[in-house]
């Protein structure tokens, strides 16, 4: 296993550094936040405010560099990577994959990049909010292209598994489409619901119970985090919003014309049952040789079926699929 250099030590990056250290990897990090440098050092971690220093060290030992900065900061950091570690093993934990992929092709084309995205909570931020167990039981997406570097792909899978996550392989485009539907749209609908509720004044809010509380919970997330996540996935989120507008408009039309909502409510109920069923489905074991020529296609097919890599021995990924 390579050493690990984590760039950015907010909730996710800080948790990555902790989890890497806990799993026995030699790991260090860099952050622009003086407060977070001090806090991380006080917690016993090898952390610097000097990004270039962290990258020089990564280049010397061919470390796996983990980009853990917000999307708007990615370009600047990639320029430093190209300057100081142009052939780095590179991954990231940013919440959208095609924009980061594009940025790497533009600004750090000689790095060996395999994108990643751990599906872990983001309603708090900063080093202090992190935890080495943040990824326990979480899905960690790894974006697999036909030309992905096999060695780095294996590194990233090994690293994600070491943090306690399972790995869901897919393409960058399919990842962005999926998270538009199950992560970014929920945030938009939560903000819309919260605003419609508040439009009803203190009386409406005084009557709100479980359905409103649950449905608006993520509207409590810091707006700048939600904006960065949603605006960064513009194209896929537009598709998801259009699907939602179509379905909500159809419900409106049916309620206005016939008074009935059976189609909307039954479809949503079936969908939620499918979600619950997928979580508890019997799974079968499969193995995929990460060194084989067909590995990228086999991995993407695994993810498309709702499957996941749960362990790794050498180059052999052991997976579960329903």
Residues 181-240 that bind its own copies (CB under 8 A): 181-183, 185-212, 214-223, 226-227, 230-231, 234, 237-238, 240
Q: How far is the CB of 35 from its own copies (least distance, A)?
A: 24
Establish if 269 lies at the interface with its own copies (CB under 8 A).
yes
Span near its own copies by CB under 8 A; candidates 14-22, 34-42, 150-158, 258-266: 258-266
Q: Count interface residues toward its own copies (CB under 8 A).
A: 99
- Local structure of 108: helix, strand or coil: coil
CB of 141 to its own copies, least distance (A): 7
Interatomic CA distance for residues 282 and 188, integer angstroms: 33
> Residue 287 has what DSSP assignment?
E
Sheet holding 139-143, edge to edge: 116-118, 139-143, 166-170, 308-313, 316-321, 284-289
Instruction: Give the residue from 248, 94, 261, 236 showing the smallest Cα distance to 176.
Output: 236
CB under 8 A: which stretch of 51-59, 147-155, 156-164, 303-311 binds its own copies? 303-311
In terms of CB distance, is 105 or 222 closer to its own copies? 222
The one among 61, 128, 248, 297 contacting its own copies by CB under 8 A: 248
Query: How many residues are present in the chain?
Result: 322
Which span (10-18, 152-160, 264-272, 287-295) binds its own copies, by CB under 8 A?
264-272
State how far the Cα of 151 lies from the Cα of 114, in Å rounded to an integer.
10
Site map 105..134 versus its own copies, x via CB under 8 A: --------------xxx-------------
**Among 72, 86, 109, 268, which residue sits at the site for its own copies (rule: CB under 8 A)?**
268
| Residue of 124, 134, 142 lying closest to 226 (CA atoms) | 124
Binding to its own copies in span 32-51, by CB under 8 A: none
Q: Which two tokens stand for residue 110?
A: 């000689």
Place of tokens 């399919």: 174
């Amino acid at each position: 296993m390579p050493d690990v250099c984590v760039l950015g030590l907010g909730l996710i990056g800080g948790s990555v550094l902790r989890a890497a250290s806990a799993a026995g990897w030699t790991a260090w990090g860099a952050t622009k936040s003086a407060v977070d440098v001090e806090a991380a050092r006080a917690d016993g971690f090898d952390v610097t405010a000097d990004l270039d220093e962290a990258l020089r060290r990564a280049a010397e030992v061919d470390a796996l560099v983990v980009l853990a900065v917000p999307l708007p900061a990615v370009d600047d950091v990639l320029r430093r990577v190209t300057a100081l570690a142009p052939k780095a093993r590179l991954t990231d934990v940013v919440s959208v994959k095609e924009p980061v992929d594009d940025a790497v092709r533009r600004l750090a084309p000689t790095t060996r990049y395999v994108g990643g995205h751990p599906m872990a909570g983001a309603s708090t931020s900063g080093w202090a909010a992190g935890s080495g167990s943040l990824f326990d039981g979480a899905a960690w997406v790894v974006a697999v292209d036909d030309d992905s570097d096999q060695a780095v792909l294996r590194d990233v899978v090994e690293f994600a598994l070491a943090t306690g996550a399972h790995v869901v392989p897919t393409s960058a485009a399919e990842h962005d489409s999926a998270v538009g539907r199950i992560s970014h749209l929920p945030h938009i609908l939560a903000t819309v619901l919260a605003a419609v509720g508040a439009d009803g004044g203190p009386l409406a809010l005084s009557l709100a119970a479980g359905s409103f509380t649950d449905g608006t919970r993520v509207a409590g997330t810091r707006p700048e985090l939600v904006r960065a996540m949603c605006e960064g996935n513009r194209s896929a989120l537009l598709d998801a919003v259009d699907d939602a507008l179509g379905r909500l408009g159809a419900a409106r039309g049916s309620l206005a014309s016939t008074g009935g909502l059976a189609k909307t409510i039954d479809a949503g109920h079936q969908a939620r049952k499918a979600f619950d069923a997928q979580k508890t489905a019997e799974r079968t074991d499969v193995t995929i040789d990460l060194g084989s020529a067909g590995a990228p296609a086999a991995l993407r097919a695994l993810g498309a079926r709702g499957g996941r890599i749960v362990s790794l021995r050498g180059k052999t990924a052991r997976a579960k699929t329903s």
